[in-house]
Structure 1
Amino acid sequence: MQNLSNVLLIGNGTLPGAALLERLARQATFILAADGGADKARAAGIQPDLVIGDLDSLASAPEQVLRVPRQDNTDLEKALDWLTAHRAGRVCIVGSVGGRWDFSIGNFLSVYSYLPALDIYFAGDGWKIYPLVQGTQKAVRPGARVSLIPFTACTRVNLSGTQYPLTNAQLALGHTGRTLSNCAQQAQITVQFESGFMLLYIED
């Protein structure tokens, strides 16, 4: 039986360096590759447990492949659909950025509808990005850069543990002057808000 409590999802973008990728793979209970992400994973010495997608960018098919021929969603969304249907837990996405900017931006936006079901975050060398529709607490390195990026209007936002806290702030799409390049002052930060969709960026 598949253990999907801690999934590493590998996309077809730029992968992090070997040290981070190997550590994430060791921590994962299941490794899922989205289409051409499988080629990049194997080139890095990582064997996915399953490859999913329409397979239009996969150079060589491994044994465990699930082809989803529909063309009205991305390979990342196909992978997240499968994880949602199988009640996965935490999902770390790598290879979501790099190459085409339209896909990179689209990947951050496309996870929105999956957040009620999956605990998703993106990881790269020196950073993590958490898409949020509700409050959270995260361990941080004191001194690390912390940013909030609203993708919708976000209401009654509270941020603590940083150099510039927020109290009942209203954040609007396109207005990030108050929330970019903050600095962690403690080993944990807390974000609370009433409604909205935002990205929480944390430097490692």
Structure 2
Amino acid sequence: MNDAIVFSEEPVLLVGGANGDNQQLAELLDAFPCVVAADSGADWVRAMGRWPDALIGDLDSVSPETRAALPPDRVHHIAEQDSTDFDKALRSIAAPLIVGIGFLGGRVDHLLAAMTVLARYPDRRVLLVGESDVIAHMPPRLELPLEADTRVSLYPMRRVEGRSTGLHWPIDGLTLSPSTRVGTSNRAEGPVALEAKSPGLLVILPVSARAVLQEALLSSDARWPAL
């Protein structure tokens, strides 16, 4: 990645500034050696007793105290205003997986912007964690060893077709589109296998399935090309 600032051979935790659960963040901070903050996400990381390895964004919302306390080589100011801080941070990290927290809470427009960024980078493995859900852009194939009755929602960001096994309502033969048919509130009957013919399909699971989705993304050898 030509624009990368942070390089890691292990998954990276990316922390945003939207509302989130402190206990959830504490657990993730314990699990990830490398932590990147998107703008005011640095204040949340600092409040949890840790400092981010890098701060990325337009830096219009991080507190002056946090910014000043970080070593200058950890602060990466990207001034342009045509993209969100999530977008700026995402394109600046080269890692096998990025797990983001602090992007799904708070304002609805921030949530929609985050989902738009996921759709913009189908070639990246990114998992967003919220208080109730986890969301990822589905690769061409995904194997999910889910328990029966686990909620599985598929939300298309553009027209997309696919196939499934293990869903109560299969998606075979359907055209999903944000303006016509979406695949929310489906459920697993056991392990689920999903295929998509083109990028643009988001998979949404309960937050209790975070580890399952994280491992499935890392294990999938199928990748979309960059748009």
Q: Normalized against structure 2, the TM-score is what?
A: 0.78
- Contact in 2 for aligned 1:13/1:98 (Cα 8 Å): yes
Residues 56-82 of structure 1, C-alpha deviation per residue, up to 9 Å, x if partnerless? 101021222111122222111111121
Displacement of 1:2 in angstroms is 5.2
Question: Counterparts in 2 of 1:61-140, with a 5 A limit?
Answer: 61=67, 62-63=70-71, 64-83=74-93, 87-116=94-123, 118-132=124-138, 134-140=140-146
- Contact in 2 for aligned 1:133/1:197 (Cα 8 Å): no
Instruction: Select the residue among 106, 125, 148 that pairs with 2:154.
Output: 148
Displacement of 1:5 in angstroms is 2.1
Residues 126-185 of structure 1, C-alpha deviation per residue, up to 9 Å, x if partnerless? 421112252212233332211111111112x112222222323221222346x2211112
Query: For structure 1, which runs of at least 5 residues remain unmatched after alignment?
Result: none
1:189 aligns with 2:192: yes
- Contact in 1 for aligned 2:101/2:130 (Cα 8 Å): yes
**How many residues are aligned here?**
196
- Contact in 1 for aligned 2:42/2:55 (Cα 8 Å): yes
The change in CA–CA distance for 1:23 and 1:193 in structure 2 (over 3 A counts) is same
Root mean square deviation, CA, Å: 2.0
Displacement of 1:40 in angstroms is 1.2
Between the aligned partners of 2:176 and 2:56, the Cα distance in structure 1 is: 37
The change in CA–CA distance for 1:138 and 1:29 in structure 2 (over 3 A counts) is farther
Residues 64-119 of structure 1, C-alpha deviation per residue, up to 9 Å, x if partnerless? 21111222221111111211xxx311011111123322222011101223221x21
- Contact in 2 for aligned 1:13/1:99 (Cα 8 Å): yes
The change in CA–CA distance for 1:141 and 1:126 in structure 2 (over 3 A counts) is farther
Structure 1 letter corresponding to 2:158: T
Percent identical across equivalent pairs? 27
Greater helix share, structure number:
2
1:14 aligns with 19
Between the aligned partners of 1:106 and 1:67, the Cα distance in structure 2 is: 20
3-state SS of 1:115 partner? coil
Query: For structure 2, which runs of at least 5 residues remain unmatched after alignment?
Result: 1-5, 209-227
Residues 2-28 of structure 1, C-alpha deviation per residue, up to 9 Å, x if partnerless? 53420111111012341x322222222
The change in CA–CA distance for 1:26 and 1:142 in structure 2 (over 3 A counts) is farther
Instruction: Select the residue among 39, 49, 66 that pairs with 1:45.
Output: 49
